[in-house]
Amino acid sequence: MRTPRTAARLAILDPAGAVLLFRYPPGEIPTYWAMPGGGLEPGESPLDGVLREVEEETGWTDLKPGPLLCTWTHDFTRQGVPVRQSEHIYLARGPHREPTPGAVARHADDDILTWKWWTPGELATATEDLWPPHLPGLLAALPAPPVDLGYVPNP
């Protein structure tokens, strides 16, 4: 019997299309990479939960979740407990930067090993597990962000 758990994650894309992922240690599955986010607190909406989790894990408070990218449900073991987790994954665009000092370290109980900005090419050829597994295809299918050309005078 698995414990149901609801979670939310944020696919943060930098201007070049790289996505921030955290690396987690092996458990029921091998080492894997996932976006910032995690379990919702009682009564918390997925949007509120993803903002809280991103702030806790990165220290960033300036990101605005955009559209829902996908939902997915998967089984794993979290801190020794078999879980069936249903996740809402939102999309946000932001600058390419490091998590604030100590933000990842504050989540030692989540076993975040490290973090990395993954380029679209690295995602497409990844050999380690990604959560969700179809993340490279989801991100590759996104339209390019609008380009700000600044002020262009009429001739």
* 33 contacts 21 by C-beta, under 8 angstroms: yes
CA dist list (Å): 121 to 32, 130, 151:
18, 14, 33
Per-residue pLDDT tens for 94-143?
A: 999 999 987 866 655 667 888 999 999 999 999 999 999 999 999 999 98
Question: Is 149 within a domain?
Answer: no
Give the total number of structural domains in the chain.
1
Per the CB < 8 A criterion, the answer to whether 54 and 27 are in contact is: no
* Secondary-structure breakdown of the chain: helix, strand, coil percentages, each rounded to the nearest 5: 20, 35, 45
User: Is residue 154 one of the residues assigned to a domain?
Assistant: no
Spatial contact of 123 and 44, defined as CB atoms under 8 Å apart: no
Kindly report the CATH number assigned to the domain that includes residue 79. 3.90.79.10
pLDDT in the model for residue 154: 63
- The CA distances from residue 141 to 62, 86, 97, in Å, are 25, 22, 24
Residues paired with residue 22 on neighbouring β-strands, in sequence order: 34, 115
The reply to whether 86 falls in a domain is yes
What pLDDT is attached to residue 26? 78
Residue-number span of the structural domain to which 44 is assigned = 3-140
Is 148 within a domain? no
